[in-house]
Amino acid sequence: MPYKLYYWDGIPGRGEFVRLALEEAGADYVDVAREPDGQERGTTAMLKLLRDGEGATIPFAPPFLKDGDLLISHVANILFYLGPKLGLAPAEEDLRFVANGLQLTITDFVAEIHDTHHPIGVSLYYEDQKPEALRRSSDFLSERLPKFLGYFERVLRQNPKGKGHIVGDRLSYVDLSLFQLVEGLRYAFPKAMDGYEENIPGLIALHDAVAKRPNIRNYLASERRLSFNEAGIFRHYPELDRAS
Ligand SMILES: N[C@@H](CCC(=O)N[C@@H](CS)C(=O)NCC(=O)O)C(=O)O
């Protein structure tokens, strides 16, 4: 039975971190909300699950994943579940918790990236919080982006199993998520990233290696890969970007 991924249509968003793992593994999955609307498919089906849940499980927000009767929410939790099944988690049990810790740090980072354009209210328009977004982005670019990316670079460099992967000695879902972070940040803050990338050569090498993987390369060239846009997490508002 295919995995069912539920996420908003039209944006890569948080769903993309899960999609990349499914695509790299060549897993059989349905991107439910992107299917034509019906009882079991489409955005209506996703909204119904959010409203009513299933069994004892009601997810708060997408993305969530259905595997048979099991319904799992939150990117990091979904990847913690899928990683071993897809061959995208470290072989060692202990390192799986390290991978989960790194993925949860990515969750925190993604929330801060989102807050650069929505620092006051998720339900308000960007245009209603522009002065605050400018202040937030300025702090984000000078303090938070270097802190998060510098951290991942350091972990990569110090990986006792080799610098090719962030954890363990083989590709994991965390490597795929780091690829997506670089992609998204390049889209949202091209000037800042252009100036900053020389500080994170390991992460950029990892990004490039992921992009060359056959399944990822095919996926990126397919219609399944959605473009970044100004409705998602990674948004490009030129006024928020600046050379670092
Ligand atoms: N911690 C959750 C965050 C989920 C989340 O914020 N989802 C967004 C879309 S990217 C959403 O639909 N939120 C609805 C809401 O917060 O009301 C995760 O990592 O999956």
The verdict on 182 and 74 lying in the same domain is: no
| Residue 21: pLDDT over 90 | yes
End position of a domain, from candidates 86, 101, 127? 86
The verdict on 215 and 149 lying in the same domain is: yes
What per-residue confidence (pLDDT) applies to 236? 98
The verdict on 210 and 113 lying in the same domain is: yes
| Residue 164: pLDDT over 90 | yes
Mean pLDDT within 53-79: 94
Asked if 105 contacts 113 with a C-beta cutoff of 8 angstroms, the reply is: no
Mean pLDDT within 11-26: 98
Mean pLDDT within 53-67: 92
What residue type is assigned to position 242 of the chain? R
How far away, in angstroms, is 74 Cα from ligand 1 center? 8
What per-residue confidence (pLDDT) applies to 58? 92
Instruction: Give residue for tokens 């006024």.
Output: 239
The verdict on 221 and 108 lying in the same domain is: yes
How far away, in angstroms, is 219 Cα from ligand 1 center? 24
What per-residue confidence (pLDDT) applies to 38? 78
The verdict on 22 and 69 lying in the same domain is: yes
| Residue 243: pLDDT over 90 | no
Substitution site in 14, 16, 79, 234 for ligand 1 pocket (most atoms within 8 Å of beta carbon): 14
Residue with CA closest to ligand 1 atom 5:
61
Token output for 203: 């992460």
19: domain CATH number is: 3.40.30.10
Q: Which residues form the pocket of ligand 1, taking CB atoms under 6 Å from any ligand atom? A: 13-14, 61-63, 74-75, 107
What per-residue confidence (pLDDT) applies to 56? 79
The verdict on 63 and 98 lying in the same domain is: no
Mean pLDDT within 39-61: 90
Q: Distance between CA atoms of 114 and 106, rounded to whole angstroms? A: 12
CA 91 to chain centre: 22
At 57, the pLDDT band (50, 70, 90 cuts) reads confident
At 37, the pLDDT band (50, 70, 90 cuts) reads confident
Structural domain boundaries, residue 72: 3-86
Long-range contacts of 114-123 (CB under 8 A, 24+ apart): 114/233, 115/140, 116/140, 116/188, 116/240, 117/235, 117/237, 117/240
How far away, in angstroms, is 158 Cα from ligand 1 center? 32
What are 193-239's pLDDT values in tens digits?
999 999 999 999 999 999 999 999 999 999 999 999 999 999 999 99
The tally of domains found in the chain comes to 2
For ligand 1, what atom is nearest to the CA of residue 114?
Answer: 10
What are 104-160's pLDDT values in tens digits?
999 999 999 999 999 999 999 999 999 999 999 999 999 999 999 999 999 999 999
End position of a domain, from candidates 28, 55, 86? 86
What per-residue confidence (pLDDT) applies to 47? 94
End position of a domain, from candidates 56, 71, 86? 86
For ligand 1, what atom is nearest to the CA of residue 122?
Answer: 16
What are 71-113's pLDDT values in tens digits?
999 999 999 999 999 999 999 999 999 999 999 999 999 999 9
| Residue 39: pLDDT over 80 | no
Environment class of residue 51 by beta-carbon count within 10 Å: exposed (0-12), middle (13-18) or buried (19+)? exposed
What per-residue confidence (pLDDT) applies to 19? 98
